[in-house]
Amino acid sequence: MSDNRENAFSLLVASSVHDIKNSLSMLLQTLEDVVRGTPDQSDELRRQFGTLQGEAVRINNDLMYFLGLYRLGNNQLPVQIESVYVADMLQEQLVNNALLFEIRNLALTMDCDDSLTAYFDQTLIAGILNNVLVNAARYAQKAVTIRAFKENNLLVLEVRDDGAGYPDKMLAQGNTPIDNSDRGINFRTGSTNLGLQFAAEVAALHKRGAICGSIQLQNLPEGGGCFRLTLP
């Protein structure tokens, strides 16, 4: 395939994904209205709607990450570094996912000093955390906690759940950043690992001198999994 045809095909795919994402966003809004209008006593029906909503959000996130990776590959995804009140950003994620966690009877809590500030691209980092929260809601038993703190002059953002933890093949080796280069598509689970790849790419775009951002997956000693995003 010639370069021109490859470029045309890439643009066609990106445009199609964008249209699908717009339609899915409308579907999500309608589904959320339906869930909110379902009587509280209809627990099973609300649970089923909640499952639909969660899966639709995951699809929407994957489409966003596909577009993000496409733009990264074509140097069309600028990183806008700004001063951010971290607690405000995390609180926004709690509000955005409140209905999903309510339907699944999961506690969603935040642990962050109100005065904590840092420099990063708020839109990109918030999108990553949103995706991690949606995934955590699938596997948590009772609770999910989102944390932020400074460690060795770096900003650390964590999403912890009390589920079964990450499978061994997904875990980073030791304390090294996750390498997504050999991750393929899992046809059994439907996982494309787009979220992890996008998160790793965006984290690496945040730099201070020789230090770059990174992501890690960990299993906690007390049980459950932890997604860890470190930014310089």
Superfamily covering domain 82-231: Histidine kinase-like ATPase, C-terminal domain (3.30.565.10)
What does the pLDDT read at residue 161? 96
pTM assigned to the model: 0.74
What does the pLDDT read at residue 138? 86
Q: Which residues of the chain have pLDDT under 50?
A: 1-2, 5-6, 9, 173-192
Walk across the sheet containing 225-231 and list its strands: 107-111, 143-151, 154-161, 225-231, 214-219
What does the pLDDT read at residue 65? 67
What does the pLDDT read at residue 11? 56
What does the pLDDT read at residue 99? 80
Q: Which residue has the tokens 């509280």?
A: 40
What does the pLDDT read at residue 215? 93
Spans of all domains in the chain: 3-73, 82-231
Tokens of 139: 């596997």
pLDDT per position as a tens digit, 45-54: 767 777 777 7
